Amino acid sequence: MNNSVVLLTGFEPFGGETTNPSWDAVRALADRDDGLRAVLLPCEFGSSLEVLRAAVAEHRPALVVATGLAGGRAGVTPERVAVNLDDARIPDNAGAQPIDVPVVPDGPAAYFTGLPVKACVAAVAAAGIPTSVSYTAGTFVCNHVFYGLMHLLATEHPGVRGGFVHVPYAPEQVADRPDVPSLPLATTVDALEIIVRTSLATTADLPITAGHLH
């Protein structure tokens, strides 16, 4: 893509699933380009940020795009806001279930993404792939990593940009649930590639609406 290293992260399976398309997609995308590094994060509150911190230190990226699964969403959704809150509806893969605790004690209430999310969504949509800007990354490990990433970059790597993207189920995960939306893995990979390219090429986001009424 260019001479800059881009760090991609995805999660291991969780919640009884046997696969996680976030990891499958970033691993496949990294195979397309020598400038991309893919790192698997544990779906655990306790260790996910430790693995992320080590990956950033090792690879010294110019851009970090973390990804996770948002089962039930129909498209690829770049996240705009990370909140300083863990409130787990289910236990993580280590059995931890924090309720109403901060990701970072005494940290800011929230961080905005460092990605040009509107430009990314416009580019993905132009390729005919379902997409939208999301304003909630939930309160499980995805948001934990998103907030932790933005705090890490703000406090220790201010020259590095980063953000988080949620991806839908892969079709095989919902083969017995035809009413649940999914996206072929190859399409998710294409969308993430567009997001990376757009983020590398764009620093000022597009002045277009991507707001929600609710």
166 included as an active-site residue: yes
CA count, 13 A, side-chain hemisphere, 1: 24
Do residues 145 and 68 touch, judged by C-beta distance below 8 A?
yes
The one catalytic residue among 79, 144, 157, 193:
79
To 5 degrees, how large is the angle CA 41–CA 155–CA 110?
A: 75
Catalytic residue among 144, 151, 157, 166: 166
Q: Which of 120, 142, 144, 193 is catalytic?
A: 142
79 belongs to the catalytic site: yes
Angstrom distance (rounded) from CA 120 to CA 196: 8
Spatial contact of 26 and 188, defined as CB atoms under 8 Å apart? no
- DSSP assignment of 121-153 equals HHHHHHTT--B--BS---SSHHHHHHHHHHHHH
Active site positions, annotated: 79, 142, 166
